[in-house]
Structures are given as structure tokens and as C-alpha cells.
Structure 1
Amino acid sequence: MKNTTLKSVSAYIEEGIKKSYTYQGYKDLVSSLLADGKSTGHEQSEALANYSMLNDRRMKRWDKTLKINESVSNVFSNADLDITWVVLSEGWCGDAAHVLPVLNKLAGLNKGIDLKIVLRDDNEELMNNFLTNGGKSIPKLIIYDNKKQEVVNSWGPRPSVATQMVNDYKEKHGGLDPQFKEDLQLWYNKDKGATIAEDLLKLL
């Protein structure tokens, strides 16, 4: 039964890769949809379009300012890899806007890492295999071994420190409110991708 499950997951990943986007292609898609007041995803609303607009700006800002720690950079650059990073995402997702630029920088350090972004709503079967506490939380990174054609790990939807912040706040307040979401954005800005890089370093 286990082998059947692995084969089906691999099949969904291969299907997702066929209709995936490069990082630049994903950004171009988000920008082009915004020109028509739309976001990626099956649901459309003014709020989602506004989130996408904010995220478009965030990604552009991170692309210009983001720097990877030298020690982390060295390990990534010298690792012997043949993997695909398949990331489930949507343009309206705030966490994705902070995470994707870091993944792009890290992937750019090693020719053995191929970054592919797939849209969550267009890849429901794949998403259903990588739920977080039963939910379709994104971004979700799937680390796929190209030679073995199997999943070796997954990560997301948030870096470890941010995940702990979310869990602690939910436990104390019963849910996430606008104030927490603002605090989380400030944390991302101060952290500058360091926790994401450290998390993924452990998964190499």
C-alpha cells in the first residue's frame, strides 16, 4: 500500500511540474493578473487582489535587498544535489511573498536545485497530500529527488520561528487577529530570511 501511495504522490508532483512556473514566470503571472484587478486562484475578490498587490511589492523589494549569510551560502553552493523544489503557492498569500524570494536566492546557489512554483488551486490532489494540520496552508515546499523520483522532505507554510509564534498566539488568544498579522510581517522584515535559510539548511 505504501508503494502505491508514493507512486501516486510522485505522479501528482510530475503533473504539477509540467504546469509549473519559474520564479520569474510566477512573478510575471501575478503582475499580469493585477493589471486586470485579479489574483491567482479560483476565488476572486477585491481583498485578494489587494493582498496580491502588496505581495507583488514585497517580492520585488526582497529581490533587491535580500542577502544570504555567507556560511549558509557556502554549504548550499557546495552541496551535491539533484532535487526539485516544488512550491505550492498563490499570489494573495502573504507568507509566500516573504518565503519565495528566499527560496529563489537559495536555489540560485546550486545548479542541482530546480525551483518550480505550482498554483495550489490548480493542483488540488497534490495539495491534499501535503496538508498542514488538515488545512491547505501555503506556501508548501516539497523536496523531490529527481533520480529516485520520490519526496525526501517537505517544509512550510512558515519558517520555524514564525510557526512557533503562530502556535503560541493561537493558544493564548484562540486565533489570529489583524494585530498579530502585522506583528508577523514585522518579524519577517527583521529576520530577513535567515530562519528560512537555516531551516532549509537542515533539510539538505
Structure 2
Amino acid sequence: MKPKVALALFHSHSYLEFRKLIADLLLEGKSTGNKQSEELTYNSKLNDIRMNHLDEIITVSEENILKLNSLQKEYIWLVIAEGWCADGAQIIPILNKMAVASQRIDLKIALKSENEDLLNLFVTNGENSIPKVIVIAKQTAAVMGSWGPRPQGAVDLMQNYKIKHGVIDEAAKTDLQMWYLNDKGISIQDELIKLLLG
């Protein structure tokens, strides 16, 4: 696993680099990834707007900042994502705020399209779902765990919707976006801090 993690880290981006990559590709009418379509480009445009909004409004609670800074080790959060991923647009800005608030976390973002082999090691319910956060001990490069692609409340929402309606449709996606809006990033913060604190 270490060579795959090392390769992903070598080709990874900081949050600002990831945002710039998305913006630069949008200027060319493209999205991240090998596959291109009008839908993926549209999703990337929408996600760019979402991330701009979240950059402005999301905060990390004082309690969570204290917890993050109480960590005894330093970590790398290697996030496997794409610019067109709606969940990624809701989650990655929160991860960035947490990393900025902490002196113990370095956030790196790698594209799914360039790291399928690594993502295959972190399958969720039989699928290569993104975003996936791989928690790496900075000093040893050991993988300490993973998280994603959604907080548990969002997972439950989608599972219950599918049980009730039989499909995940546009209404389900709208419900999911509203869930993220109402949650304000609290679940993501709490779940990742719990993972770090063991």
C-alpha cells in the first residue's frame, strides 16, 4: 500500500491548487478526470460555487480546534476526489478549514482518475465512492484509517430514501444538499476527530 500512497501524495494538490485546477479546467469547458461530458462540467461549475460559499461560511468550533491541536502526532489527510463530485464539494472545504485550524494536519487532494488502484483498497459497499479521506501518520507514512464518502447522517438519509422510493433521483440529491446545508459541517468535523482520537 505504501507505494500507492506515496504515488498519490506525489501527484496530490493542496486545497488551493485543487480549486485552481477546477477553475482552470472550467475555463476550457472541462472537468477533472479522464471522462468528459456536459453533465460533469455542469457539476464542476456548480461545485465551484458551492465551495466558494462554504469557504466563506464554514467555521470549526473552538472545542474542535482544541481537540485537533491536542493530537500527539501529525497527520496527512489524503483525499481522493474529483471536481465534479457533489459530496466532495460539500466536504473538502470543511476538511480544509480543519487543516488550517490545526497545526497537526496537512491536507492533500488527489484525483480518483489518477488513483484507481489506491481507491480499490478503500472500497465502500463494493464501490469506489468518493470523496475518501485516507488518514496517514506523517512521521511513519502508515495508514491509520479512512473515512467517507459521506457522514453517517447523509448515508442514512440516502439509504432511507432508496428504501422508500427505490431509486436515488434528483429529489434525493436535493434532500442531500439540504442535509449538508443544515448540518453546517458539524458531522464531518465530529466523525473525523473521533477517528483521529481513536
The TM-score with structure 2 as length reference comes to 0.96
Give the count of matched residue pairs.
Answer: 196
Selected match of 2:18 from 16, 21, 26: 26
Residue matched to 2:75: 83
Q: Does 1:66 align with 2:58?
A: yes
Listed as ranges, the gaps of 5+ residues in structure 1 are 1-8
Residue matched to 2:165: 173
Query: Which aligned pairs between 1:32-51 and structure 2 lie closer than 5 A?
Result: 32-51=24-43
Determine the C-alpha separation between the residues in 1 that align with 2:100 and 2:73: 13
1:128 deviates by: 0.8
Q: Are the counterparts in 2 of residues 78 and 110 from structure 1 also a CA contact under 8 Å?
A: no
Residue matched to 1:152: 144
Listed as ranges, the gaps of 5+ residues in structure 2 are none
Determine the C-alpha separation between the residues in 2 that align with 1:40 and 1:175: 27
Determine the C-alpha separation between the residues in 1 that align with 2:169 and 2:87: 15
Selected match of 1:139 from 123, 131, 135: 131
1:101 deviates by: 0.5
1:175 deviates by: 2.3
Deviation track 1:32-83 (CA, whole Å, cap 9, x = no partner) reads 0000110001110011000000000110110011111221121112322221
- Which amino acid letter does the alignment assign opposite residue 154 of structure 2? A
- Matched residue of 1:53: which SS? helix
Residue matched to 2:155: 163
Q: Does 1:96 align with 2:88?
A: yes
1:201 deviates by: 1.4
Residue matched to 1:10: 2
Q: Aligned-pair RMSD on alpha carbons?
A: 1.0
1:108 deviates by: 1.1
Determine the C-alpha separation between the residues in 2 that align with 1:23 and 1:60: 12
1:151 deviates by: 1.0
Residue matched to 1:182: 174
Q: Are the counterparts in 1 of residues 26 and 44 from structure 2 also a CA contact under 8 Å?
A: yes
The TM-score with structure 1 as length reference comes to 0.93
